[in-house]
Amino acid sequence: MITLTSENYYSSAADLDYMSCSQYQSFLTCEAATMAKLHGLFTPSASEALTVGNYFHTALESDAAHAAFCDSHFGDIYKTKEDKKTGEIIAVGKYAPYAKADDMLKTAKSDPLIKEIIDAPGQNEVIMTGKLFDMPWKIRLDKYMPDIRTIIDWKTAADLNRTEYNPATAAKESFLESLGYLMRAAVYSEIEKQNARSSDDPTFIIVAISKQDPPDKGVYLLNHRQRYDYELELVKQNMERIRKVKSGQVKPRRCGRCEYCRATKRLTKIVPYYILTPGFNGEKEEEYDDVFASYLENT
């Protein structure tokens, strides 16, 4: 099993050896796309939102980490022009999403409570591993204060007050719930407890900044043992199938809507128009990924 470092944490080798919260959510979204990505058959299109999020994160990590990130994503972040005298490409400003991220960082650093959390003694980008539901898991903490066992998670969001309807519960949820942050807090806390050799939950705090103008801000305590138990039970139920899919015992399901499914879609029959009707409750045939199945047979 691979030894995790900051350089290989997000590698395919690490993802094959370990489960993570992001990978778990990816399996729930589309098993076929996740398996294709794990085995190098599919590379998702670069997401501007993800790059901007990493820009925001590295700025709170350290000056060195942020400078390295900006250098490696220079063309994404900066508007440029060529110096007519030297021929050198120089920056003449930032594209709107990154200028907005700078406003968000200013909002964070100018708030006394958030600034106190930023400046508090701790370790950034801490990697931990553990075992949940008979599988190895990996987590990476944005900031960890080992002396007081506190986890800090930096988050950006469109609107801190936006709610989403969850058809499974028939209720509206906050962005913390709809984006799976309660699940993440539950998993992170279990892995941290294993590493700290403690039965007590660590403190889990999310610091969130919105992308509005001006940005909104909030600091949220996610500790809730009953909710953690609920989230972990859901993970346990889903992991039985995910384990079989990831090990190649069963074919991965196709969601039929994502980038990977669109790119590999094969039509086999004509279907009635009304299956596209919003709220259609008739049975739809489950599609399995024969593309990936063929790959497995030849490897």
Let me know whether 171 and 254 are in one domain.
Answer: no
**Largest distance between two CA atoms of the chain:** 67
Domain boundary among the residues 84, 110, 136 is at 110
- Average pLDDT, 10 consecutive residues per value, the chain (299 residues): 91 95 96 94 86 92 91 90 77 89 96 96 96 96 97 96 86 93 98 97 97 96 97 96 93 92 90 83 69 60
Structurally, how many domains does the chain consist of? 3
* Euclidean distance between CA atoms 42 and 38, whole angstroms: 8
Whether 228 is in a domain gets the answer yes
Parent domain of 60: 47-110
Task: Please report the pLDDT score of residue 75 as a whole number.
Answer: 87
Q: What's the pLDDT score for residue 213?
A: 94
**202/230 Cα distance (integer angstroms):** 17
CATH number of 188's domain: 3.90.320.10
Q: Are residues 267 and 218 in the same domain?
A: no
Going by their DSSP bridges, the two strands 78-82 and 89-94 should be labelled as antiparallel
